[in-house]
Amino acid sequence: MKKLLQKFKDQWAICILLILVPFLHVWIGTGDFYIADSLLKAMQTESLIQNDFKSEELQYPAQSLDPQHENFFLSQAFVNTIQGKFIGAFPVAFSVFTSLIKKAGLDWNLLPFLFSLSMVFSFYFLTSKKVINQKTAILGYGATILFALSLDFNEYSIYFMLNTLGFVWWMEYRETGKVKLIYLSLITISLSIWFRLESSPFLLSLLIAEVLTSKFKFQDIWKEYNFFIILLSLSPAILFLLWNYFDYGHVFGARFLFNFGNNGSTTIDRIQRFFSMTFVNYVDGIPKFGLFFCSSFLLLPILYYLVFKKERTDKENFLILLSLSYIILIGASAPNDGITITGRYLMLSFLPLLVLWDGWNPSHSKVWKILSVVLIVFSFLISAVTLKIFHHAAKQERSFRQFYARNDAPLWLFTDPILCGQAGLEHLSRKILCLNSKTNFDPILENIKKESSITSLVLFEMNAKEAKSFGKSSSEFFPSEKLNLKERLRENFQTMREAASYKGVLATQFTREKK
């Protein structure tokens, strides 16, 4: 009993996280909060199951009505036809992993919580290996974007866990000199590349930092390392490149093709993107909050070591070089800033930054200590605001979904992409069309006529007041033929009831004419 209590005492931060994480999932309601990215990842998972794991082609319920996928709930930046297959942009490895869990009997409601435990394990591994202490673990989870990235249905927690394992083993190798730890590090980071491409620059940054700070002599490299085992350790990455080449026609795969296929970024765009990801920026009327804005306390050790402390240990130099080289590589190569509520491309930089923070002791200076406390409080406030946004978005999405469900029909038509996205997991089984300003309704109406299973449909739209509140963007939410859309539906369908209304959303139901 004493040993158990001691373990709880030694890992008090992890115990707090094990209580906090399920509370956050219940409070937000993440179990049925599937929109945008997480919804597409769910569709990729479900499609893989429906295809008996033979193909990753998306099973789009409205395929017969919209064979060109012009009215899908996401744009071509996320879904497209590659090598003759209509697929999503997100990693197939995550789809395989989640589909196996889903086949085992777990419900959609449990998956976000289950995956978020991977993030908790990451901090357990960091603390159990004495890489960071318990206080830093609390800061790492609660005062950074990591908690936000681990709350919904996505690959971030698993991806972060694999890179955490690789990073810790690399750090242990630097302390012990045990070469087997390098092999373990390489294989886990290589494996994580299947989940996100950012593992590649992270591995490159580790090598850069190691080469620039190591006292190892290159003439001894043949004696120290077994290159066959190194090649074996890198086999997951090699298989990843080969799989992508034969399946997608490009070694970096679908995600790379989606991100960079039509990327015409200028130098100015990249500079703006870099500031969006790292600090703060204001782009197209939208504020962008980056890494060192949301977690500004992590900037203090870097400033201190680079500006005020000229003599640094090898470990400090390694961590600084790893952090800066990774941030620069991501900033130079990222296809966009990756920011919705929070950024994500730079999440691996938290590993060296948190270790750097953990070893930094500003107690000899009141100024640094006060500044640390102020910035930590500020970071926690940012996290609180982010949580509130998540909670509000989930609550709103749930309420609209309930409104849609009260207007049941085999087909739902939406004239606004925001409303359409809030249909959530209904997209996996129900015919849903997200009409837009470029929609040609003629072929869709013809296809609806041919579908005998469509005995009725519901048209969802924003009322004039709500549409006007979107200003210049309002024209994007309505098809060019909106004025006569209902009239054309009435030619083929009979209105069952007058439009129902909920928070500015109108729902008009039509039934097929009796013959």
Q: What is the pLDDT of residue 466?
A: 61
pLDDT digits (tens, 9 = 90+) for 251-278: 888 888 877 766 666 777 778 888 888 8
- The mean pLDDT of 359-386, rounded to a whole number, is 89
What pairing do the DSSP bridges indicate for beta strands 456-462 and 411-414? parallel
pLDDT computed for residue 218 by the predictor: 55
* Tens of pLDDT, residues 10-58: 889 999 999 999 999 999 999 889 988 899 999 999 999 999 999 999 9
Tokens of 11: 């890992």
Instruction: Specify if 484 maps to a domain.
Output: yes
Q: Is the pLDDT of residue 149 over 70?
A: yes
Read off the DSSP letter of residue 513.
P
Pairing of strands 411-414, 431-434: parallel
DSSP 512: E
| Residue 369 exposure: Cα atoms within 13 Å on the Cβ side | 6
pLDDT score, position 427: 93
Give the range of the structural domain holding residue 460, as residue numbers without chain letter. 406-512
Residue 475 banded pLDDT, cuts 50, 70, 90: very low
Please, which residues have CB within 8 angstroms of residue 11's CB and are 6 or more apart in sequence?
Answer: 124, 127, 128, 134
Q: Which of 285-294, 312-321, 459-468 has the lowest mean pLDDT?
A: 459-468
Q: Which one is predicted more confidently, 146 or 441? A: 146
* 4 within some domain: no
Secondary structure E strands in 211-367: 280-283, 286-289
Q: Mark 320-334 as b/e (b = at least 16 C-beta within 10 Å).
A: bbbbbbbbebbbeeb
Tokens of 52: 């008996």
Residue 416 domain-assigned (yes or no): yes
Among left, alpha and beta (phi > 0; psi -120 to 50; other), residue 106 is: beta
Asked if residue 286 belongs to a domain, the reply is no
Contacts of the segment 262-265: beta carbons below 8 A, 24+ positions apart:
263/335, 265/335
pLDDT at 237 over 90: yes
Provide the whole-model pTM: 0.92
Q: Hey, which residues does 280 pair with through a beta bridge?
A: 289
Cα separation, 334 vs 342, in Å, equals 15
| The token pair that represents 12 in the structure block | 């008090």
Task: State the chain's mean pLDDT as an integer.
Answer: 86
8 A C-beta contact, residue 325 and residue 211: no
pLDDT of 474 over the 50 cut? no
Q: Which pLDDT belongs to residue 97? A: 94
Give me the pLDDT at residue 339, please.
Answer: 61
CB neighbours of 242 closer than 8 A, spacing ≥ 6? 251
3-state SS, residue 458? strand
Provide the percentage of residues in the chain whose pLDDT is more than 90: 51
Mean pLDDT of 285-313: 85
Q: Is residue 465 part of a domain?
A: yes
Whether pLDDT at 354 is above 50: yes
Residue 380 has pLDDT above 90, yes or no: yes
d(CA 443, CA 439): 10
pLDDT for res 269? 75
Of 23, 24, 297, nearest to 140 by C-alpha is: 297
CA-wise closest residue to 258 among 92, 99, 145, 423: 92
Is 419 a domain residue? yes
Q: What is the pLDDT of residues 495-508, one digit of tens each?
A: 666 667 888 888 88
Q: Please tell me the total count of domains within the chain.
A: 1
Of 148-162, 182-196, 359-373, the range with the lowest mean pLDDT is 359-373
Quick one: pLDDT at residue 194? Answer: 95
Q: Say whether pLDDT at 429 is over 50.
A: yes
| Low-confidence winner among 31-35, 65-69, 327-331, 459-463 (lowest mean pLDDT) | 459-463
Q: Is residue 464 part of a domain?
A: yes
pLDDT for 467: 60
Identify whether the C-beta of residue 287 lies closer than 8 Å to the C-beta of residue 293: no
Give the pLDDT mean for 453-474.
Answer: 71
Q: At what angle do helices 199-213 and 179-192 cross, to 10 degrees?
A: 150
* Three-state DSSP class for residue 279: coil
Q: Domain for residue 42, yes or no?
A: no
- Nearest CA to 486 out of 454, 510, 456, 462 is that of 510
pLDDT digit string, tens, across residues 208-231: 999 898 876 555 566 677 888 989
pLDDT digits (tens, 9 = 90+) for 277-297: 888 777 666 777 888 889 999
Nearest residue to 322 (alpha-carbon basis) of 351, 297, 344, 279: 351
